[in-house]
Structure formats: C-alpha cells, structure tokens
Structure 1
Amino acid sequence: MKPFSLCRAWLLPAVLALVACNDEQPQQNDQPPPLPEVTVVEMRPQPLSNVLQVPGRVQAVRTAEIRARVSGVIQRRLYEEGTDVEAGQQLFQIDPREMQAALNAAQATLERAEATETNAARDVQRYRGLVQKQAISQQEFDTAEARLRTARADVSQAKAAIETAKLNLEYTRVETPIAGLAGRAEVTEGALVSAANGTLLTRVEQFDPVYVNFSRSSADLLALRAEVGAGTLELPGRGEVEVNLILENGMRYPHTGYVNFLAMTIDESTGTVALRAEVPNPDRLLLPGQFVQAQILAGTRREGLAVPQRAVSVTNRGGSVLVLDEENRARNRQVELGDLRGDQWLIRGGLEPGDRVVVDRGQSVREGVQVQPQPLDSQKAGSATATDEADNS
C-alpha cells in the first residue's frame, strides 16, 4: 500500500494547483479591456485664406477677324500660318486691277467736272458785267450761276468718288489691325472673296495676357457679403483679388492674375454672376478656349478651422467627422467642407473652437465608443497654415 499512498501524495499538490488556476481565471476576465487609442486634434481658430475654386475658360484679350472689305480674287497669302504678326502687316493681296481702274475713272470724272466748273465760272463773270448794262436778262444770269453751283457740286462728288476708289484700292492690301498670332488661312490663292458677305480670311489673336472667364452663383456672393459684414472675412486692402490657375493636367500655373471685371447683373437662366480675370501669359501655356480651374483668393478668414484630410469621411450627403465628448466617447458630426488645401480640409460649418476631432481611427472606433485620446503632433497640427502660405506664395 505504500507505493499507492506515495502516488496519491504526489498527485494531490498538482490537483490543488490546477484548481487554483481555475479559480484565478474568472478574476482576470472580469477586468475591462483597454480603451482603443486614437489620435485627436483640437480645433484652434487661425487666419486662413478664403480660396474659392471655380471652373473657367481662357479667352484671348483681343481677337481680330480679318475679312474681305472689297470683292475680288486672292492673289497671294503673305504670311505664314501660326506665326506672330505685327499691327499693320499685310496678310493677303487681292487683285488690285479693278480697283485701280475705278480710281482712274474717278480721276477722269473729276477732271471733266473741274473743266465744267471753270467754264461755268467764266460765264458767270462775263454775264455779271452784261446784266449790269442790261445787255442780257436777269434770268440768263441766274441760269449761269446755277450751272456754276452744279459744276462745283460735280467736282465735290468726283473728289468723294476718288477717295472711295483709293480706299478700295488700299483694301486690296489686307492688313491686320492688331499684333498677335495669325491663325489658319480660310481662303487660298485664286479664291473669290466678297465684300458684301464679308468673307472671313483668317483670325489674329492676342493672348499675352489672357482673360479667364468664370462665374459664381448669386447665393455665394450674398454669403460672401454677409461674412464681410459680420467681420469674419477680411477682403484684400487694395481691392485686388488674386486668381491662381490649375491646368487640366493638375499642374499649377506659375503666374498670378487678378479679377478685373464683375458683372452687375445676374444671368436669369443660370442664376450666376460673370467674373473675369486677367492673367499674364508670357510662355503661352494658356490657349484660347482652354479649360482651367481658377482659385480665387477672396479675402482671409480671421478665425478659420481646418482638419486633416484623413479625419473626414466624405459621402454623397457631405462630410462627417468623429468628435470626442466630455467622456471621450466618439460622436459622429456632419460638417460643411470648404476647399481641400494640401492635406487639410477647410471647415465652413459644423465644428467649434475647442472640439476634439479624431484623426487616426481604427475599425473598432465608431459612434458611442469610449477611446483614449492622444494629441496630434503640433507640427502636423499646424500644417494647415503652412500649406495655406505655400498655396499663396
């Protein structure tokens, strides 16, 4: 019996230890799980530029349609398509022979009219002495004076005809009234052009600088004026509104323009107000008809708010963020988004100074979940201002 007792003596401590482990397990499960850690940023108002982004179209500052001013046949094209031309440079030559013949005929008519005038003046001078001596009747003298006036009118008419003929002869030299880039020729040598129909020969466009046309809704302008009146938005001191452009490939255009026109009426069909900016174009990157995105610097918000892009969930209903309450529980809140500037969303509504917004959240962080907040790095928190300054430099 001793071997069996010895075995029981060895097994008893092992059983007691196993029971003790089972007793301690429920105590460990009773402890609450650790709170998920999240990164938060506190909303602090700061001066932020108010940038409005709208689509726009590039327009040439000046466009001249070169049309035929006399009827005739094109003899020569005197420019190279797609090259720069100077104001007054000849682009086409219309056959001048018909106009030259008309000028010669007008000059001959003038000579005949001047001869008739000279003869009529001599008759009047001769008849003046005869009528005083009553050698001729007063009626004959009056008729002579009438012939002189008619001859003088014929001379004036002939001179006007000569001026017209000279103009028509000059119009055979088709010149450009402005300097710019000459476009494709719409006619070739030998083509018959018409002054009555105003046959288009080519176009010359001047696009340094260029105009950029865009529009804003009347509601946006009313909201802008309300913010200015409330003092939350400060307009540029000199009244110059800067405009920066984003090209179709996403590249930022290197030159800054300024708004130079604002319509005083609202388009009834669209409910928008037309605006126009003048932008330098020394490198000719901007072409008439090109689509661009115009970023309008419409003042500075004295107390603007911005949150990192990754903190915002964007849906069809708009943007939303998670905000921590006093118990560090996440609460979903709808926000009104402004422009996306770098990695920061500008907030137009829905957040107040002092709100704590969750930046980096895991899948377990949702509405009502209590979390352990960790402040965002101060350098990252201030990236909105740095990005804002970079956009306006």
Structure 2
Amino acid sequence: MIGLNQRLGRFLAVVIGLAIGAALLVFFLVNRQAPEHSDSPPAPKVVAVIEAQPLAFRLEARGHGVARPAETWQAVANVSGRVVERHPHLESGTLLREGTLLLALDPSRYELAIAEAEAELTQLEAEEANTRRLLDLERQALDLAEQELSRIERLAATGAVSTSQRDAQRHSTVGQRQAVATLENTLALLPAQRERASVRLAQARRDLADTRFEAPYDLRLGEVDVELHQFVGAGQRLFEADSLAAAEVEARLPFSMVRRLLGRVAPVELEPGTLDLSERIDLDSIDAELELVGAPGVSWEGRVVRVASGLDPATRAVRVVVRVEEPWRDARPPDHPPLQRDMYTRVRLSTSSPVAQLLVPASALHQGELYLADEHDRLVRRPVSVAFQQGDLAVIESGLTPGERVIVDDLQPAIEGMALAPRRDVALEARLTARALGEVTSGERQ
C-alpha cells in the first residue's frame, strides 16, 4: 500500500511539472517581440592607426656568450727547485700590479752554474792569450830552423856538411813545424770552446731568471697550486692569472642576423687577393653592447674584433668575438661588477642601415596582410612583402606606400570596406621611431 502511494506521488509531480512548463512556453510565445529593423548604417569602428613613413633604422643581431679574459697566463715551472719566496697574497681572486714578484725558486744551483761558466770563459781567454804568445815564439823558432836548414842544404850540396847533419836539421825543422801547427790548431779550437761556454752561461742565466715569477701585466689570480718550501719540478703547473687589460665574449648569433648585419658593412670594392676578414668587412662600424644576464642595467661597451672560424656545432650559430677594453676600470661592485671569466652575457650588435626603412609593428601583420584605412576611412586589406622582422618590428619590402595609414588594432571581424573611425596613435609612432634607432630599455630587451 505504501509503495503504491509513493508511485502515485511521483506521477503527480511529473504531471504538475509538465503543466507548469507548458504554461510558461505559451506565455513567452504570446509576449515575444519581433526584431527591430533599422535603415541607418552601423557606427564606424574606432581604430588606432599610424602613418607609414621611412625611418632611420639600426640593424641588429642579438645573441649570448660567456666572458673570458683576452689573455691568460698559465704559470709553469721551466726549472726545478724549492720555493723560497711566495707573495703573501698569492691566492685565488687577488688583484696584483704588473712587475709584482709572485714566486721565487731556490737560485743557488743556477748561480753556481753561472759562476762555473764565467770561470771557464775566463780560463779560455787566458789560454788563448798564452797560446798566442807561445805561437809567436814557435814561429820565430821555425823561421830560424828554416834558415838553418837552407844553409845546411847549400853546404851539403858542396860536400862541406855531412849527410847526417843535413838529416838532423831536417828532422828538427819538421818538429818545429809540428809544434807551430799544434798551437795553431789549439787556437782554432778555442772559439768553439768559448761558444759552448757562452751557451752554458746564457742557459744558466735564463734558468736563473726562470726561478722568479713576476706579473707581466696587471692581473687577477686564478687557481694557485704551489706553497712555500714546496719542491717543484720542471713542467709543473704553479698558478693561473687573468689579464685585467681586456675581456672577450664569443657570442653565438643566428646566421640570418649576422648575414644581414655584415651585408651592410662590407666594402664595395676589395683589393685582389684580400684574405683578412677585417679588410673585407668594416668591423669598426658595428656597435657592440653587452649586458649581464640576470642583472638589468649592468652593461659594457665593446667592439667586434673578429669572427671565429666555423659555426657553433650545436646551434649552427655564428661565433662573433666582442672585446671589452679595461673591464675593471669603471667597476663598482656589487652594483656594477667588472666583466669577469664565465659571466653569461647578452650581446647586441648594431649598425645603421644605409637607407631608411618602412616599419610597422609586427603585431599589425595578419598572415601577410596589413589592415589600412583609405582616404574614405574604409578598411583595406593589403598583402605586403616583409623583408625581415627584428624584434617587434617588421620591415616592409613592398606593398606599402609612405603616407598610408596602418591599423594597429586587431579587428574582429575585419571586413573589406567596413567603415572606420581612425585615431592616429602619435605615442606609438614615437615608440616605433625610438625602437627603429635601437633606443630600448633593458626591460624591453629581455
């Protein structure tokens, strides 16, 4: 009985709901209003426009690279010895002036070698002087012997002197000749002995000089691997130091950007047989700016010094080397640190375009078309040819005429011939001019 009542209640609820829905449907049908028809045209669409004008333009190429010193000194021992002197601040990170004595090895062995070589040279000089005096005497004796031999041979020819006397004089003369020849040979060998002694002396002096390590330029020490009283062998690495004179960044830049940039700075005529790239391309006309990644406002001015051989094997990018002179000169750590080893930098190369360019915001392009406002304030969809895009700018090669008004709003829908109410965006035109000249903030670069 209870189940029957429940089923009856559900049935009545459904019937009542259907009746209420039917009543509402009839009510809405009776009170519906017919659509209103208007003969007046739709209101013009308000749009922002800019006037297309040729603008002075700076071509840019952007990339990234890691800083490194332009010159690094790997101090290696050329001679062996015990460390007898070590600069008190010979530690990683220390800055030291040119000419500072950093390290000294025990020089006694090489000082003894110098003294020995100098003594040998002195001895050879004395031997030469003595030999020359003896040679003069022996030559005088030889002259007398030759004269006596001639006299005896004349007498022997007449029978006044025996043959035995003549032979004895001959033997004596030959002995005297041999003595002169021996002394002459000794003198001839002395220059070679002096040369060998001079070489040993020069080598000993060079070895002595190699026991002292003085800073060849203002430098910053890297890793140091030697301690006081330590014995070091020839060829052992001692420490590393970076020059403070200049730093370099090998920037990786897209090939298309570099090709476009360098194409504007190549000389018109080249001398036959020119091989040097700096003669083929005016690298000095390229401005270079480096910015420390992650530290807006920390930047350095540099110059392009060369294009490294080959492309980067991973990205196929061009490797352009930018040099920064005296990166420590204006350093103000921590706000403006110097450009140091392993700093990751953003590199911007730029040069002035030889001709003005028609530029529009890249956002104004719609699948190869620009929306224009004609002289009757009607929408015109114009296909254009884009030479290239640089950042948020598009360089128009053809399809756009100076003075035409380009719509910079995103119209939806964009119907050909629709009525417009153009409003010139002077502020955007000013920003466009600034961006064309490369006058952008660090925040915009990021």
Same fold, judged at TM 0.5 (above): yes
> Could you say what secondary structure the match of 2:178 adopts?
helix
> Could you say what secondary structure the match of 1:201 adopts?
strand
Alignment of 1:177-192 (within 5 A): 177-192=216-231
Deviations 1:112-156 (A, max 9, x none): 434433442332122111111116421221011112232343233
The unaligned stretches of length 5 or more in structure 1 are: 1-20, 314-318
> Could you say what secondary structure the match of 2:79 adopts?
coil
1:245 matched to 2:293? no
1:68 matched to 2:105? no
> Could you say what secondary structure the match of 1:26 adopts?
coil
TM-score (norm 1): 0.73
Instruction: Measure the CA separation in 1 of the matches of 2:440 and 2:46.
Output: 36
Structure 1 contact 329–371 (Cα < 8 Å) conserved? no
What's the counterpart of residue 355 of structure 2? 302
Equivalent position amino acid for 1:277 in 2: V
What's the counterpart of residue 44 of structure 1? 53
The alpha-carbon distance between structure 1 residues 91 and 33, as it changes in their structure 2 partners (threshold 3 A), is same
> Could you say what secondary structure the match of 2:224 adopts?
coil
Instruction: Measure the CA separation in 1 of the matches of 2:258 and 2:248.
Output: 21
Structure 2 contact 49–425 (Cα < 8 Å) conserved? no
The alpha-carbon distance between structure 1 residues 357 and 194, as it changes in their structure 2 partners (threshold 3 A), is farther
CA deviation after TM superposition for structure 1 residue 286, in Å: 1.1
TM-score (norm 2): 0.65
CA deviation after TM superposition for structure 1 residue 185, in Å: 1.2
1:80 matched to 2:90? yes
**Which of 250, 273, 277 lines up with 2:322 in the alignment?**
277
Alignment of 1:279-358 (within 5 A): 279-280=324-325, 281=327, 282=329, 283=331, 285-300=338-353, 302-308=355-361, 311=364, 323-324=371-372, 327-328=378-379, 338-340=389-391, 344-347=392-395, 352-353=400-401, 356-358=405-407
Instruction: Measure the CA separation in 2 of the matches of 1:228 and 1:105.
Output: 63
**Which of 188, 193, 209 lines up with 1:149 in the alignment?**
188
Instruction: Measure the CA separation in 1 of the matches of 2:349 and 2:289.
Output: 7
Instruction: Measure the CA separation in 1 of the matches of 2:57 and 2:382.
Output: 26
Alignment of 1:97-136 (within 5 A): 97-134=108-145, 136=175
Instruction: Measure the CA separation in 2 of the matches of 1:194 and 1:336.
Output: 63
Q: Which moved more, 1:138-147 or 1:287-296?
A: 287-296
CA deviation after TM superposition for structure 1 residue 34, in Å: 4.7
Q: Which moved more, 1:78-87 or 1:63-72?
A: 78-87
Instruction: Measure the CA separation in 1 of the matches of 2:282 and 2:77.
Output: 49
CA deviation after TM superposition for structure 1 residue 71, in Å: 1.6
| Pair member with larger Rg | 2
**Which of 352, 356, 361 lines up with 2:410 in the alignment?**
361
**Which of 198, 210, 215 lines up with 2:247 in the alignment?**
210
Equivalent position amino acid for 1:361 in 2: D
Q: Which moved more, 1:200-209 or 1:353-362?
A: 353-362
What's the counterpart of residue 163 of structure 2? none
1:172 matched to 2:173? no
Equivalent position amino acid for 1:140 in 2: A
Instruction: Measure the CA separation in 2 of the matches of 1:337 and 1:250.
Output: 30
CA deviation after TM superposition for structure 1 residue 93, in Å: 1.2
Question: How many equivalent residue pairs?
Answer: 355
Q: Compute the RMSD of aligned alpha carbons.
A: 4.0
Equivalent position amino acid for 2:81 in 1: G
Structure 2 contact 373–422 (Cα < 8 Å) conserved? no
Instruction: Measure the CA separation in 2 of the matches of 1:328 and 1:358.
Output: 9
What's the counterpart of residue 10 of structure 2? none
Quick one: percent identity of the two aligned structures? 22
Equivalent position amino acid for 1:62 in 2: E
Instruction: Measure the CA separation in 1 of the matches of 2:240 and 2:199.
Output: 32
Instruction: Measure the CA separation in 2 of the matches of 1:56 and 1:373.
Output: 48
CA deviation after TM superposition for structure 1 residue 222, in Å: 5.2
Equivalent position amino acid for 1:137 in 2: Q
The alpha-carbon distance between structure 1 residues 272 and 123, as it changes in their structure 2 partners (threshold 3 A), is farther
Structure 1 contact 40–373 (Cα < 8 Å) conserved? no
What's the counterpart of residue 150 of structure 2? none
1:96 matched to 2:107? yes
The alpha-carbon distance between structure 1 residues 93 and 320, as it changes in their structure 2 partners (threshold 3 A), is farther
Structure 1 contact 244–253 (Cα < 8 Å) conserved? no
> Could you say what secondary structure the match of 1:391 adopts?
coil
Give the structure with the higher percent strand: 1
Instruction: Measure the CA separation in 1 of the matches of 2:343 and 2:178.
Output: 77
What's the counterpart of residue 9 of structure 1? none
**Which of 201, 204, 207 lines up with 1:162 in the alignment?**
201
Q: Which moved more, 1:265-274 or 1:84-93?
A: 265-274
